[in-house]
Amino acid sequence: MESQVRGGTRWKRFAVVMVPSVAATAAIGVALAQGALAASFSVSGQSFKVTAQELNGTGFSQYGAIDQGYTLSGEKTAHPVAVSVFDTARIQKMCQSVVTPNIPLLGSVSLTLTAGDSADPEKQVNAKNLYIDVEDLGADAEFTNIDIGVAGKDISQGPGMKAGEVQKKQANPYGFAQQAEKAKLTDVKQTAWATTAGTFKLPGLKMKLQTGTHECY
């Protein structure tokens, strides 16, 4: 693969949010062993899909964790995730979809949200202190000044692990993490269980409810 000169790296089309498969397995394994919790709330029994034409982020970091939640029948469950963190993120042409199955008289119902469908950066989706708990991802990715294998406590890019995780022994400060000054992802397709942000601006937001299965990808 082509490499950037001076501190950039190009990796093309790989899953589990931009980490090599061995590293991803190690990160998730550590998270399972330590009982790390990603989302600060119990996640629903439905994952959601997101696509984006392009995401430009600054202050990127990432670590493995576990989202505690429920099945649609109310039973407790857990999901291994890779938590991707950004100081700031600008997203062009974002689509988010979630499908609720087995609704009486209707069958499946799909909720779709779109926003930021503009080449003008001022009219794209903008987020600060963004955390995405991702189960699966495919994208073309480019990083600037990336560090792989950083101890969680030594993350210096982005807002770091969620507040209170280490104090509550929900995350291992000595576990696997990685970071980069900048991250650029194009043709993004991901499945996630949770997203949190300090601010989340969605210019041109449109919401649609439809019967049947209508997903972003």
Chain position carrying tokens 């991250």: 183
Is residue 28 predicted with pLDDT exceeding 80?
no
For 76, half-sphere exposure in the C-beta direction (CA atoms, 13 angstrom radius) is 4
86 lies in some domain: yes
217 lies in some domain: no
1 lies in some domain: no
Average pLDDT for the chain:
83
Q: How many residues in total does the chain contain?
A: 217
20 lies in some domain: yes
2 lies in some domain: no
Domain membership of residue 85 as a residue range = 8-211
- In 3D space, the residue among 69, 42, 194, 50 whose CA is nearest the CA of residue 111 turns out to be 50
| CA 160 to centroid of chain Cα atoms | 14
Out of 10-24, 113-127, 157-171, 181-195, pick the least confident. 10-24
Per-residue model confidence (pLDDT) at position 38? 63
DSSP state of 203: T
Specify the higher pLDDT residue, 164 or 19.
164
DSSP state of 15: H
Out of 7-21, 36-50, 93-107, 169-183, pick the least confident. 7-21
pLDDT digits (tens, 9 = 90+) for 55-87: 999 999 998 888 889 999 999 998 988 899 999
Per-residue model confidence (pLDDT) at position 40? 73
Domain count, the chain: 1
Split at pLDDT 50, 70, 90, the class of 17 is very low
Q: Rounded to two decimals, what is the model's pTM? A: 0.81
Strands (E), 71-203: 76-103, 107-115, 125-151, 176-196, 199-201
Is residue 171 predicted with pLDDT exceeding 70?
no
123 sits in the region (left: phi over 0; alpha: psi -120 to 50; else beta) called: alpha
DSSP state of 106: T
Split at pLDDT 50, 70, 90, the class of 172 is low
Per-residue model confidence (pLDDT) at position 80? 87
Specify the higher pLDDT residue, 180 or 158.
180
Distance between CA atoms of residues 101 and 212, nearest Å: 9
